[in-house]
Amino acid sequence: MHLATNDTDTLFKQQQIIYGVDIGGTKIEIGLFSSDLKFIDSWRTLTPTDNYSEFINTIVNLIKEADRRCGKKGFVGIGMPGIIDKDGLVKSANVPCATGRNIVEDLNKALEFEISIGNDCRLFALSESVGGAGDLYKSVYGAIIGTGAAGGFCIDGKLHNGRSGFAGEYGHLPVSAYLINKYNLPILDCGCGLKGCYESYVSGPGLGWIYNYYGSQTTDTKHFVRKLREDDRIAVTTFNCYMDFLGASFASLVLSYDPDIIVMGGGVSKIDEVVDSLQAHVNKHLFSGVDCPPIVRAKYGDSSGVRGAAILRKQLLEN
């Protein structure tokens, strides 16, 4: 994270355009916002994942194109999946060429301008906390359940990063031994290098894995949802097991963060049956006297990446 200098602060007041850049494993999107976060425009391009200089050039070209369209330079916030340490070093499975590189330094050099960067799941939480589904709440946990399971925690519209920027990584907490035993499931290896992380069971691929484990020929979650609505035995068994795991994982984050509201995004959040019954499943894993706060769907959904990155930049400029 890089704080603004007085010079950039003055410039910000004159220019008032902020770009949010959302880097994903397949595409990079740029969103243009006014300083009061009104959406102006957005477009996207493919992510070069294997060639680092091509990757940096692609981001630089997106930003230069935005400058050209706006007729002036905008301020830049960037979000991307993976671990970004406090010095700006990146470790990302989705963008392998960026691993071990310092994107902040390299982009600052290429643009001759200071940018800010954050983890995409943390920025999702920030976007939902500022003007999103959690806007009226003091403390907001934003959880993305999609290709992975991660999130971020905000208080008063500001991200709580923790000492190293990892606060919110609840998907890599170990699953409950009680649940592994109850469903007689194997302990799965996780992409993070640990074993038995919640992410392996509660992410979209985790749901597909459970469906397959209980006898489906496919891991396709759309197929699962269709069969669940037909009351198919395998789909119903999968749903009950999955919701128990997801409920337990959210109970862990309720006990860790005690948020006023949980906002959910990602592919799994599009399944009504999951969102509608999740609060009850979380409560089954909380001891007496503790209850789960409301769980709602994200307001900005897929556009929260660019929006969160723009908010991050705006907040750092204002500090």
Question: Using CB under 5 A as the criterion, which residues of the chain lie in contact with Zn ion when the complex forms?
Answer: 172, 190, 192, 194, 197
Smallest distance from the beta carbon of 190 to Zn ion, in angstroms? 3
Closer CB to Zn ion, residue 3 or residue 194?
A: 194
Closer CB to Zn ion, residue 32 or residue 268?
A: 268
The phi-psi region of residue 42 (left if phi > 0; otherwise alpha if psi is between -120 and 50; otherwise beta) is beta
CA angle 147, 87, 167 (to 5 degrees): 45
Closer CB to Zn ion, residue 172 or residue 313?
A: 172
Smallest distance from the beta carbon of 207 to Zn ion, in angstroms? 16
Nearest to 79 by CA among 305, 297, 253: 305
Nearest to 24 by CA among 59, 54, 53, 57: 59
Closer CB to Zn ion, residue 194 or residue 255?
A: 194
Contacts 24+ apart (CB under 8 A), 108-112: 108/2, 110/56, 110/57, 110/60, 111/60, 111/63, 111/76
Smallest distance from the beta carbon of 78 to Zn ion, in angstroms? 24
Closer CB to Zn ion, residue 170 or residue 300?
A: 170
Distance, CA of 255 to CA of 182 (rounded, Å): 22
Smallest distance from the beta carbon of 196 to Zn ion, in angstroms? 8
Burial of 164 (0-12, 13-18, 19+ CB in 10 A): exposed
Smallest distance from the beta carbon of 117 to Zn ion, in angstroms? 22
